Amino acid sequence: MEQALGLSGLLTIDHSIKLLGHLVLVGLVFFFVRLYQVRIMFRRVRKEHGIPIMPHSFLFGHLWTTAKIAIKHKIPRDGNGHWMFHFIKLEYPEIAAPGVLYMDVWPIGYPMIAVYHPEIMAQFTQEHSLPKWWAQGQREFKHFTGGEDLVHLEGQEWKAARAMFNPGFSAKNLLSLIPNFMEEALVFRERLREAAVSGAVVKLENYTTDVTVDVVARAVLGTRLQTQTMSSKLMKAMQAQLSSIHLSLDLSKSLNPTRPIKNWFYNRTIRAELMSLIQQTVLNYEQLEGPKTVLALALRSYVEEKRHQGASSSGASPIPPEFLERVIKHIKIFMFAGHDTTATTLAYAYHLLSLNSKQAGKMRAEHDEVLGPDPAAAASRIAIDPTLLNSLPYTLAAIKETLRLFPPVGGTIRQSPPGHHLTHPHTRQRYPTHGFMLHSSVTTTARAPEFWPSPDAFMPERFLARDASDPLYPVRNVWRPFEMGPRACIGQELVTLELRLILALTVREFVVEEAYEEGAPVWFGTRAYQVETAEQAATAHVKGGMPVRVRVQG
C-alpha cells in the first residue's frame, strides 16, 4: 500500500517535471521566434530603407549599445529613463541628426522609434493623431482603469469623454474655483512657514504632492481631502495601486501572484471612497450654485445629452449607474495625472528660483507690482480678483521654463497602422513605423542646443520673446511638456493657474534651498536630478523627494 502510494507519487512528480520541461521548451521557442522577428525588423530598416541604426547585435539588439552609453555617461542607476535618449543623441549624433532613431531593447522594452525632430513629432500627434501605444492602457494601467480613462480611450469614446470634461477644465471655470484652491494653497504656505520656523530639513516633494492632491480634489470633486493635514485612505490606496505599474519588463512585479488580489482590494477601497464623494455631486448638481467642479459639469453635459437623445426626463432615476461606472475611472486618472506631475514641477520651480537669484528677484518684483507691495495682502487681493493671476507673465514664463528643464512626462507613445511612415520635412526620407512604438522625446528636444540657446540655463525670458527676430524666441512645436494636438493635456490650464497661485503666495516670503547630504550624487549639474522609482514608474520624480530647508526671505 505504502509502496504503491510512493510509486504513484513518484510517477506524478516525474510527469510534472516532463510537463514543466515541455512548457519551458515551448516558452523558449516562442522567445526565440519573437527575438528573430524583432531583430529582423531592425535589420530591414537598415537594409531595405538605407536608414542607419546604432550598432546592432542579433542576440542583444541595442541592449549592449545602450548599456555602454549608460556606463560611459555615468547615468545613475535611478536616473530617469527618459534622459537615455538625450545621451544616445550625444553618442550617435550622425544617426540621431535627422530626428528619427530606431532602438531595439527587446525583451526589456518594446521595439521603438525615438523622434527628436519637432516637425516629425507633429506628424503623429498634430497632423494625424495616432492612437496611444496599446500597452500603456492595456498593460500598464490595466488594474488602475483597464485603459477606460481619458488618457487611454480612443476614437468616438475618447471624443465624447473629452467633450464632457472640457468645460470643467476651461480657464474660465478654473478661475471661478480660485477661492477654493486658495484655501488649500494657504495650508501649504502655513506648512512652509512651520518648516522655516523649525529650521528642519523637510522633503519638499511631500508638501507639494499633498497640496496638488488637495487642489485637484477641489477641482474635480469639490471635496476637501485634507491630505496636507491628515492621511487619506483614498490616496493611500491609489498610490499603492499605482506602485504596481511598470513600464518595461519587471519580473518581480509582473509575476507577483498577490498582485490581482491586492488590486481587487485597492479597487474596492477606491471605489467606496469615490462613490460616497460622487454621490454628493450627483444628488445636488442641479441645485449647485456658483463654481462648478469638473464632475458637476460632466454630469450636466451627460444628462443634457441623454435628454437630447429622448431618454425620459422624468427624473425618476437621478443617479445614472452607467455614468458612475465610467466616471470613476476618469476620476482615478485625473487624481493620478493631476498630482505628482504638478507636484514635482512646483518643487523644481522653488529649486530653480533658489539657484537663480536674479530671476527670483524679477518674479518677486512682478508680484509687488501686480499684487501690491505687502505679501500678506496678496491672498485677499487674488480672492477678490482671481484674474490678477492672468497678469503674471514672468511667473508663467518661469513655470514654462521649469517644465522645459524638468519635464515630468518624457513624451507621448503612439501606435502606428500598417504602411504608416514618417517623412523628414527637408530630405523627404521616409521612415517605416509599423510595429514600432513611436515616441516623441520631448525631454531631449527641450535640452537641444540646436533649438535653445544655452539649453541648460534657467531663462524664463525665452517665453517672453515676442517674435522670431528675438534669438530667444522658441522654435515652433519644440516646447511640449503637455504634448500637442488633440491628445494634449486637458489639465494644463489647471497646472499653470495653480502654480501661479501658489508661487504668488509664497516666493516673496520664503526661499527654499536644497539640503542634500554631503557627497550626494550629482547628475545634470544637480543633486535634485530626475529619478525613476519602482513605486512611481509612470512619471519622473525628484531625487530623494528633494530635501530642503525653508528660510524666511529678506
Ligand X SMILES: *[C@@H]1O[C@H](CO)[C@@H](O)[C@H](O)[C@H]1NC(C)=O
| Strands 437-440 and 541-542, bridge-based pairing | unpaired
527 binds ligand X (CB under 6 A): no
**Where in 443-482 is the site for ligand HEM (CB under 6 A)?**
481-482
Interface residue with ligand HEM among 96, 363, 371, 494 (CB under 6 A) is 494
DSSP state of 475: P
Of 6-14, 113-121, 170-178, 199-207: span binding ligand X (CB under 6 A): 199-207
Interface residue with ligand HEM among 111, 118, 338, 375 (CB under 6 A) is 338
Residue 145: CB minimum distance to ligand X, A: 5
Residues sharing a CB contact under 8 Å with residue 321, sequence separation 6 or more, in sequence order: none
Q: Which three cell numbers stand for residue 524?
A: 545634470
146 binds, among ligand HEM, ligand X, none (CB under 5 to 8 A by kind): ligand X
Phi, psi of 203 (to 5 degrees): -90, 110
Interface residue with ligand X among 73, 139, 203, 551 (CB under 6 A) is 203
* Strand ranges (E), 27-160: 100-103, 112-115
Residue 314: is it exposed, middle or buried by C-beta count within 10 angstroms (0-12/13-18/19+)? exposed
Note whether 386 and 380 are within 8 A (CB). no
491 binds ligand HEM (CB under 6 A): yes
Of 191-199, 320-328, 330-338, 465-473: span binding ligand HEM (CB under 6 A): 330-338
Give the span between the Cα atoms of 83 and 73, in whole angstroms: 11
Phi, psi of 260 (to 5 degrees): -60, -40
Residue 490: CB minimum distance to ligand HEM, A: 4
Give the span between the Cα atoms of 396 and 485, in whole angstroms: 21
139 binds ligand X (CB under 6 A): no
Q: Which three cell numbers stand for residue 332?
A: 482615478
* Strand ranges (E), 83-150: 100-103, 112-115
Interface residue with ligand X among 170, 226, 263, 269 (CB under 6 A) is 263
Of 188-196, 274-282, 369-377, 483-491: span binding ligand HEM (CB under 6 A): 483-491
**Where in 248-277 is the site for ligand HEM (CB under 6 A)?**
none
412 binds ligand HEM (CB under 6 A): yes
Give the span between the Cα atoms of 59 and 73, in whole angstroms: 24
483 binds ligand HEM (CB under 6 A): yes
130-167 per-residue burial string, b: 16 or more CB within 10 A, e: under 16: bbbbbbbbeebbebbbebbbbbbbbeeebeebeebbeb
Give the span between the Cα atoms of 138 and 159, in whole angstroms: 19
Q: Does 164 carry a binding-site annotation?
A: no
Residue 477: CB minimum distance to ligand HEM, A: 14
Build a one-symbol-per-residue string for 153-192: x at contacts with ligand X by CB under 6 A, - elsewhere.
----------------------------------------
Nearer to ligand X, 327 or 397 (CB): 327
Interface residue with ligand X among 145, 416, 433, 539 (CB under 6 A) is 145
Interface residue with ligand HEM among 116, 207, 334, 479 (CB under 6 A) is 334
- Segment holding 84, helix H or strand E: helix 84-91
Q: How far is CA 142 from the centre of its chain?
A: 17
Interface residue with ligand X among 126, 166, 170, 206 (CB under 6 A) is 206
Cell match 529649486: residue? Answer: 351
- Annotation: binding site for heme: 489
Interface residues with ligand HEM (CB under 6 A)? 132, 150-151, 162, 216, 333-334, 337-338, 341-342, 345, 408-409, 412, 481-483, 487, 489-491, 494-495
Interface residues with ligand X (CB under 6 A)? 143, 145-146, 202-203, 206, 260, 263-264, 267, 329, 545
